[in-house]
C-alpha cells in the first residue's frame, strides 16, 4: 500500500470503475516533465490516504483507449472517481493542497 498502482486499459474497469474506494487516476507519460513533478506528490498522498483512497497511474502512450474515453488531451490529467464515476478532473501540475482538498471532498 501507499504507492500508486500502475494500471492499463485492460485493468481500468476492475481497478477504477469497480473499486469500492474512491480512486485517483493519474494520466501521465514518462517523457512529460510536469507529470514527473506530480508523481512524488501523488506518492505522498497515496501514503497519507492508504486504505481510504486508491491511487493509480495510467501511461497514456500505451493506453490510448482509457485516455480517449475520458477526454484526456493534455497531461498530466488527474481524474477523481467515486462509485465508478468521474467526479472531478484537473489538468496540469497542481499543488498538493489542492489535490488534498479534492480528495477530502470525495471522502466527505
Nearest of 96, 91, 61 to residue 79 by alpha carbon: 91
Query: Which positions ≥6 away from 22 have C-beta within 8 Å?
Result: 52, 53, 54, 80, 81, 82, 87, 103, 106, 107
What CATH number does residue 30 fall under?
3.40.30.10
Give the Cα separation of 67 and 69 in Å (integer). Answer: 6
Q: Would residue 96 show up in a list of annotated catalytic residues for this protein? A: no
The band of 1, judged by pLDDT with boundaries at 50, 70 and 90, is low
Instruction: Give residue 96's domain range.
Output: 5-107
pTM to 2 decimal places: 0.96
For residue 15, what is its C-alpha cell?
Answer: 481497478
**pLDDT tens sequence across 16-49:** 999 999 999 999 999 999 999 999 999 999 999 9
What domain count does the chain have?
1
Q: Would residue 35 show up in a list of annotated catalytic residues for this protein? A: yes
For residue 76, what is its C-alpha cell?
Answer: 498530466
The band of 3, judged by pLDDT with boundaries at 50, 70 and 90, is confident
- Say which of 7, 32, 46, 53 is annotated catalytic: 32
Share of the chain above pLDDT 90, in %: 97
Amino acid at each position: 500500500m501507499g504507492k500508486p498502482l500502475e494500471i492499463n486499459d485492460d485493468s481500468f474497469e476492475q481497478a477504477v470503475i469497480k473499486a469500492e474506494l474512491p480512486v485517483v487516476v493519474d494520466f501521465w507519460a514518462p517523457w512529460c516533465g510536469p507529470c514527473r513533478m506530480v508523481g512524488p506528490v501523488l506518492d505522498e498522498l497515496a501514503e497519507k490516504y492508504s486504505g481510504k483512497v486508491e491511487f493509480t497511474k495510467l501511461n497514456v502512450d500505451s493506453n490510448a483507449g482509457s485516455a480517449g474515453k475520458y477526454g484526456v488531451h493534455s497531461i498530466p490529467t488527474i481524474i477523481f472517481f467515486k462509485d465508478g464515476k468521474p467526479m472531478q478532473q484537473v489538468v496540469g501540475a497542481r499543488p498538493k493542497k489542492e489535490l488534498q482538498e479534492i480528495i477530502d471532498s470525495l471522502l466527505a
